[in-house]
């Protein structure tokens, strides 16, 4: 006998005699406008520091700066997905600078993106 059970707002709705064999949970976390404002400010700080540390004979440094600028622009426009997309392919050089200067929110985002 098959029963259909659903999850509504984190509560399982259905009969009491069912067994969970597979449970897939997709958590979508939307950041508030204030969160994106914080991210935007940290990205600006990071971009400025990256420009100070970039070496003229390291073109990849300037590619990384461009990615941070794109993420900053997306944050300013309130586009969280755009921020995530722009941060794809961020290098350890960028993460090291973000960590060093204390941009913790952005460093965490970069770390998460690097793992995906």
Identify the CA nearest to 65 among candidates 88, 91, 85, 47: 47
| pLDDT for the residue numbered 34 | 82
Identify the CA nearest to 53 among candidates 44, 62, 66, 40: 62
pTM, two decimals, is 0.72
Label residue 17 by pLDDT band (50, 70, 90): low
| pLDDT for the residue numbered 31 | 58
Domain extents for the chain?
A: 33-115
Q: What is the mean pLDDT of the chain?
A: 82
């Amino acid at each position: 006998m098959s029963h259909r059970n659903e999850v509504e707002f984190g509560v399982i709705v259905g009969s009491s005699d069912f067994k969970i064999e597979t449970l897939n949970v997709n958590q979508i976390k939307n950041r508030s406008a204030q969160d994106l404002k914080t991210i935007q400010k940290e990205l600006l700080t990071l971009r400025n520091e990256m420009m100070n540390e970039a070496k003229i004979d390291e073109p990849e440094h300037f590619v990384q700066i461009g990615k941070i600028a794109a993420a900053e622009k997306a944050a300013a426009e309130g586009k969280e997905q755009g921020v995530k997309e722009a941060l794809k392919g961020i290098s350890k050089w960028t993460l090291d600078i973000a960590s060093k200067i204390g941009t913790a929110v952005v460093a965490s985002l970069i770390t998460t993106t690097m793992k995906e």
